[in-house]
Amino acid sequence: MLESQKRALAMATSSVAKGDKFKFIMFIRPDITIHNELPIESIIANPDKIHLPNHSHYGYKNDQFSIINYNNALLYGNRIDETSEYRKNIGRIVGEIYCQFIISKYNMQINEIDFKYTITRQ
């Protein structure tokens, strides 16, 4: 998942180099079923925060879905680049713990949004 996020972000970065602009970048698992509308007003009202669902944190921070402004997406979406250092200094990578680590490291403020979904596995 982290490698896929980095590749997708590289495509967005390539588009920015060609003149395109992005206010927000959405990171979303491809295997989820969405159950309600995205709370756009809350996201737009808090453009400098990372927007995470208000569930499935498992004691840390949900790594399954996020919306974040482009500048912070460059940090969050490339977090795979920091896994070696994390493993050396902290240990085994668990998605939600690592997500919280990156959010804390870069002092990102969180806006928890009412965005309901389930993971659909086959």
- Measure the CA–CA gap between 84 and 110, rounded to whole angstroms: 25
Is pLDDT above 90 for 90? no
DSSP string for 4-59: HHHHHHHHHHHHHHTT---SEEEEE-TTEEE-S---HHHHHH-TTSEEEESS--TT
Q: How many CB atoms lie within 10 A of CB 101?
A: 18
Structure tokens at 118: 């389930």
Cα Rg of the chain, angstroms: 14
- Measure the CA–CA gap between 76 and 2, rounded to whole angstroms: 10
pLDDT in tens, 19-71: 999 999 999 989 999 999 999 999 999 999 999 999 866 667 888 999 999 99
Structure tokens at 7: 């590749």
For 101-107, what is the mean pLDDT? Answer: 95
Give the C-alpha distances (Å, rounded to integers) separating 7 from 13, 55, 77, 80: 10, 27, 9, 11
- Whole-prediction pTM value? 0.89
Find the range with the poorest average confidence among 75-79, 83-87, 98-102, 118-122.
118-122
